[in-house]
Structure formats: structure tokens, C-alpha cells
Structure 1
């Protein structure tokens, strides 16, 4: 009996010790807390922004702002905080620091909202702006890009091209092009605190646009890759800050270019990285901000044709996902943009890759018997014939023009069957150009100086130029 009592007492003691030990283990881990993003910028209109909380314990929110609510999905462990900012009717920017705490660990979320501004607005002016998007699209046929120049990170000449001149634009017109796309960078020329774009840069871009208008050419001016601030951030977490920057930049760009007539079109972005419905909704908000910002500047911009990009400017994504266009108070002034470089292994791949090797020969009648491993295995004529009708049915047939803002196939020096390779490139260019036009699309060749010499304005690649013009007949 004594042994049983002793045994039971010993067992109880061990249990107590283990319990205390477990409690010590549970309380020993330090509180972990992280917030992302830690800074949010809302436009004047307000909206929603989502904050991700990563934690291993309970946490609390401290918020003193009445204009911005912070609602938590949970208050322990990993969770989300939804910020909801009301519209700001004041002209001053406002801000609040929202604190998230877990024990003695504190994290701050800095929230800012732009003030209301009416400084851009002037009365609408329809002079020289009479064409709808469909009517305007009928006025140009073949376009060319001034690639790797005004969008170059580091400055206009940073990627090896000289400054754009009137003589270069004159050459484009002489060669047979009726439209010019100007890829352009803005973020590197802007104050990152205020968003103010350099007046000197705005004037320089305006000068290049004027060169084109001087020759009666139609112009597409965009915000290009620009460091990826929009293109690589088609996400709900970045949505508020990207929309704020989109509004700030397009307000300034549109104001600077406002006096140009309908020869000048604006394009919201370049190749926005979106491939699902969630990203498409975010992208639509960026396009809506673009439309609203341009229209609010008044004057000719109330009637200007505006171009919005499909998700990733991919034809299939655009066909499947782009089921809504941004609302526009001015009807029938919207175009859609896609790009075409298929199959990339033939058009532009410069080295064999893990996912596929380069193709040197393209088209049913252009395969090589000398180098058969380099023949295209997909993306040939049947692929082209199935691609462009998707844009025709989705948009063109409904009165929404589509531009192919970039397309191209480029010549290599390494093929063993060089005559067949050259003929393949010729065939791709002519066939693709023909099919784009046949389906009501407006093609813009991507050129970085390989076809038209930027220094002496001579034609460096006559075969490609001839193939484009043949396709445009």
C-alpha cells in the first residue's frame, strides 16, 4: 500500500513537472509579427487595399483615422487587414500611421491619400477631334515603333540609339509608314515624393510627337515598361499605390500633350503582366484610372482616342479575360492593344533555352532539309489563321479597333540553310501583316534601329521593309 501511495505521488509529481515544462515551452517562443506592404498610397477617390499579417500569436490594431477603416479577417496568427479609404474632398494630402501590435512588438502601416485637385481642368474642345476610334483607325494602316529610345532606362541614348530627329520620322514616312508608336519612360524623370515629371522631359517627348505630327503621321504615346512599376504589379496589394501613380503621371502627360489634335492617341501601359481573372480586374482599374485622368484634363483630351492593353497583350488571354472595358464618358473612343511574336522561338529567341530551341525556318513551304531540327514545330500559318480572328470577333466586329502594338521576326546569322531562313522571315512578315490587316487589326512593327538606320536614315534591312509593305497591300 505504501508503495502504491509512493508510486502515485511520484507519478503526480512527474505530471506536474511535465505540465510546467510544457507551459514554459509554449511561452518561450517570442512573438513574431510582420506586415506587408508597410506603406499604402490612396488616390483622391479612395478605395480598398489589403495588408498581409504574418504572426504566431494574437495581435491588435490601433487606428486613429475616421477616413480610413482597418478591418481584420482574424486577430491571431496569419491574417489580412483590409483598409478602406473614403474619398478626399480636401485639396491637401492626408495621412495616418496604423499600428499593429503583438505584445511588445509593434509594426507600422503608413497610409497616405492624395488631395483633390482641379488644376488640370479646362473646357472641352472638339476642334480637330471629330473621328471616332473606328474612323481614326481607318486613317492609318502600317505603323512602326521607335524602340529602345525614349523608353530606355538611363536616358534616351542609354541603349545605344541616338536622339530621335525630324529626319528619322521623315524617313519612316518615306518608307511607307502612316503611324508611329512611341514607347516612353516617365518614372525615372519624376520626383518620387511628389510624382512631378520633369518639365524638360515632357517638353522633349512633346517635341518628338510634334516631329510625327509634322509629317501627318498618327501617334501612339504610352507609358512603357518604365521599370515595371505598373507592368509587374498587377496585384491587389499594389493596386492602390499603382493607381495613384497612374493618375498622377497621366494627368501630367495628358496636360502636356493636350493641344495635339486627333493624330495623337494615348496608350495606358505596355505589356501588363496579367493572366487570370483576379489580375484582369486589377488591370481594369489601372485602365479606368488612365481614362479618368486623361478625360479630366479637358480640352482635346475629352475626345481623344485612348488605347487599353489586354492582359500580357496576349491574344488568348485578351480573348478569354478582357470582357469589360473601362467606362468612358466619351463614347466610341477606345481601342484595344495586343502584341504578336509567335512562335517566339522563330521570331526573336537569341539562344537555345531549356524550354525550347531556336527555329530558323517557318512556314509549310519553307522548312529546311539541310537543318531539319531547326524547322518550326508549332505557330505556323494555321496558328496565325486561328489567332487574329479572335480579336476580330471579340472587338473589331463590335466597333472597337485593335492595334498590334508590337510584332516582328528578325534575321539570324547562324542558319546553315541561309536562303531558306531569309525566305522564311520574309514569308512570316508578309503573311502575318496580311492576316492582321485582313482581320481589321493595325500592325506596328517593332524596330530598334535594325531596319532603319538611326544615324544616317538609310534602310539597313530592305527585305523586311519590302515584306511589310507587301503584306500591307
Structure 2
């Protein structure tokens, strides 16, 4: 009888135990925790890990596209990596990630700092004093008519190596008195004290500054460029890294030296960049690389800060050709709005403007001998080319400089009459289409020269041609 009583009791106790165990397995409360409640990251972005612990299935809920979670869902314990994109905005940003599962929500607040540029040691804060708050188009309109100090500071071997005398203030004053209000100064900068790191000789830098000051001192605008300089700017993939490195180092030095000048000084990154001897339509390689030169130039100058943060910069079409500008030019990105200009040149028809022979000596609608006149390149052609620059650039808010144009002296009978017609028409058409014209004067008044002035005395060699350009 005692054993029979014990047996039901044992079953009852076992039943209670099993029932209790079953209830524990079925009714265990949900658990979900995260190791973080806040994430703070710098503007450059980065990663942060979140350790998840729990006994339920969970997901990560995000409401910002600049935060990413991996994995974004799971079961029980896991490690989640948050990746935060860089912040390019000048304001901080905030969001939150939610860890959700088993009816539990855990919130992780995510904060990211605003973008703060990392500047090199030579950088100073942007300084707009002396830099007027006017559009690049408005400044270009003030530049008037320009003249090139050709074959002087870009002469290889020294300032007078190509036959011109040393530039004087008295001479530059005569150019101003003739009616020119801007001067383009071509420069060969490769006078180095250290050729391995492209350190420009300070004596040469100071000499260039003297000439710049001659023009700035009498109220002229100055376009300071990096000219041919023995042709080291070859736009090929093979030379791209070398050229961009050299270009950057040289322009940083130039920009630092002239950083305190006001907006009467403009920088132009290069000249007629092309592959030596290839005057055809450029290959994609060529114009892609040349466009990278323009970007390197802009970045180098802007990196110096100060007034250079607001300076008007001039970038070039491939070989400064109008058709190449329309087809292949890519405007560099610039942190400063509305401070870029584009440069092209005009020497059409080549047979009349530049070719060294006495065959094509007449030009335009008043030409009398078809045998002495180019088959194309007359007034309507010129208008059409300049209209391309107006439609594709000027009408879109981008000023255009006609950095060079001329018709050389062929010493043929009546050639000066047609040179005058050409210069008057191109100068007028350029201004009428909104371009700023810069006459190319190489200082040489002999056969195939383009001088308007005697560089020693300042006297006008061709007063009628000067008048045709500046009127």
C-alpha cells in the first residue's frame, strides 16, 4: 500500500518538473542588446562596429543613404560593421540606426562632423580684400583690348635671346598709351635652382614680377601664363604623371609669389598644348590628358589660399583651337564659383596669317586677286568661329579670351592694306561676340614679323594697324 501511494506521487512530481521545464523553454523573455548607443565620426567618414547580443532574430533599420550596415539582419549574437561615407558638406549631419527584434528597439545615434578641408602648410585662409565681388564676365568686359609681350620672357636662353631688348617700364607705358588696356605676358618658368624638384630661380621670379608691376602700375590687366618653355607639356598618358607633378610644383610657387596681387592679375595655366608635330584632330588620349593639366593648374593655385582663392584663372582648349574647344574641352572643377575663363587663339586662314611665303598676301571681301587669296577663312568664317565660342561658353556665363591673333608682315605689295582689314575685322568681331582680344606681337618687324611697336623706343611702327586693333 505504501509503494502504491508513492508511485502516483512520483509521477505527479515528475509531471510538475516537466511542466515547469516546458513553460521555461516556451516563455523565456526576448533579449536584444547593442554595445553602442552613439557613434561620432569625422567628416572623412570611416567604420564602427556594433556587437549585438540576444536570443531573437533582428534587423538594422537605417534612414540615411550615407550610412551602411553589414550585416543588416541576423539571429542572436553577431557583430555589425557600420560604414559612414565622407561628408563633403559644410555642415554636420545626424541620423540614427535602429536595432529591431522580438518587439525590442535599440537606437544608435550617429553624428558626423562637417567638412573641413585639409590644407598644405603654405595655405592661408581665403582673403577677398582687393578682389571685387563681380562676375568673371564683368571682369572680362573691363579688360578691353589686349596685347602680347611676345618673344621676351618666354625666350629660351634669356630675356633678349630672341632678339628683343630687355623690357622697360617706359615701353609698357607706351603700349598703354596706344590704347591697350590688358597685356598677356608669356613666360618660360624653367629657370631652376633645383631641377629635381622644379624650384624656380628667385632671381627670375623677381624679374617677372618687375615686368608685371610695369603693367599693373599703370592700371592694366595682366594675364600671366606658362608658355611653350621648350615643349615639356606633352599631353600623352606616358607623360601625364610627370607633367602634372611639374605643373603643380611650378604653379604653387608662382601663385605664392603673386598671392597678394588684386584682381588685375590673372593666371593662365598653359599655352598651345599639343603633341609635337600633330596638328590634326586630337586623339581621346591627348585631350583627356590636356584636360587634366587644366585641373591640376586650378587645384594648385586654389591650394595657396589668400586672394588666390578668388583670382580669375584662365584654362586652355586643346592647342587653343576653337573647334577643339567646342568638341573636347572639359571645364575644370573649381571650389570658387564663377572665376574661370577659357582661352583660344585665331590664325585663320593660316596661309595668310602665318605661313612664311609670298603667295597668299590678300584677305577678305576686298581682295582683288583670287590667286593671292586663301580659299577659305574670310569674314563669314571668322564670324562663325567666334560665334561658336559665344554660344558654347559666353552665353553660358564663361568668358573667353582670344589670347593670340595676328597677320604677319609679308612685305608684299599692298599686304599692309589687307593686314589692316584682317586686324580690324577680327578685333571688331571678337569684341562683338564678347571675346577679349589679345594681339600677338613678337617684337620683330622684318619679314613675317608681327611687331606693332619698336621695343627700344616705344614708337608705333604701324600706327594704322594699332588703330585697327584698338579702335
- TM-score normalised by L of structure 2: 0.70
Large movers: runs of 4+ above 3 Å: none
C-alpha distance after superposition, 1:232-285 (max 9, x if no partner): x10111111110001100000000111110000000100011623332221111
> Residue 381 of structure 1: which of 367, 374, 379 is its match?
379
Q: CA RMSD, aligned part only?
A: 1.5
- How do residues 202-281 of structure 1 correspond to structure 2 at under 5 angstroms? 202-230=205-233, 233-273=234-274, 275-281=282-288
Match of 2:278 in 1: none
Matched position secondary structure for 1:187: coil
Conserved 8 A contact 1:407-1:445: yes
Instruction: Check if 1:458 corresponds to 2:459.
Output: yes
For 2:119 and 2:399, locate their aligned partners in 1 and report how far apart those are by CA, in whole Å: 33
> Residue 200 of structure 2: which of 197, 201, 212 is its match?
197
Match of 1:342 in 2: 348
Match of 1:133 in 2: 136
For 1:174 and 1:252, locate their aligned partners in 2 and report how far apart those are by CA, in whole Å: 32
For 2:432 and 2:119, locate their aligned partners in 1 and report how far apart those are by CA, in whole Å: 45
Q: Structure 1 residue 469: deviation in Å?
A: 2.3
Instruction: Check if 1:425 corresponds to 2:428.
Output: no
For 1:467 and 1:293, locate their aligned partners in 2 and report how far apart those are by CA, in whole Å: 38
Conserved 8 A contact 2:192-2:198: no
For 1:136 and 1:444, locate their aligned partners in 2 and report how far apart those are by CA, in whole Å: 15
Q: Structure 1 residue 464: deviation in Å?
A: 1.1
Conserved 8 A contact 2:191-2:201: no
For 2:142 and 2:402, locate their aligned partners in 1 and report how far apart those are by CA, in whole Å: 16
Matched position secondary structure for 2:344: strand
C-alpha distance after superposition, 1:362-383 (max 9, x if no partner): 1122223xxx422222111121
> Residue 121 of structure 1: which of 113, 120, 123 is its match?
123
For 1:410 and 1:279, locate their aligned partners in 2 and report how far apart those are by CA, in whole Å: 29
When residues 432 and 183 of structure 1 are mapped into structure 2, their CA distance, relative to the original with a 3 A threshold, is same
> Residue 155 of structure 2: which of 144, 152, 169 is its match?
152
For 1:132 and 1:305, locate their aligned partners in 2 and report how far apart those are by CA, in whole Å: 10
> Residue 330 of structure 1: which of 324, 330, 336 is its match?
336
The number of residue pairs the alignment matches comes to 340
For 2:125 and 2:376, locate their aligned partners in 1 and report how far apart those are by CA, in whole Å: 53
Match of 2:315 in 1: 308
Instruction: Check if 1:183 corresponds to 2:179.
Output: no
> Residue 161 of structure 1: which of 157, 160, 164 is its match?
164
When residues 284 and 132 of structure 1 are mapped into structure 2, their CA distance, relative to the original with a 3 A threshold, is same
Q: Structure 1 residue 386: deviation in Å?
A: 1.1
For 2:426 and 2:214, locate their aligned partners in 1 and report how far apart those are by CA, in whole Å: 29
Conserved 8 A contact 2:340-2:398: yes
Conserved 8 A contact 2:191-2:204: no
Unaligned runs of 5+ in 1: 1-115, 353-357
- TM-score normalised by L of structure 1: 0.70
Q: Structure 1 residue 117: deviation in Å?
A: 8.4
Instruction: Check if 1:396 corresponds to 2:394.
Output: yes
Conserved 8 A contact 2:119-2:303: no
Conserved 8 A contact 1:132-1:305: no
For 2:199 and 2:119, locate their aligned partners in 1 and report how far apart those are by CA, in whole Å: 14
For 2:164 and 2:193, locate their aligned partners in 1 and report how far apart those are by CA, in whole Å: 22
Q: Structure 1 residue 191: deviation in Å?
A: 2.2
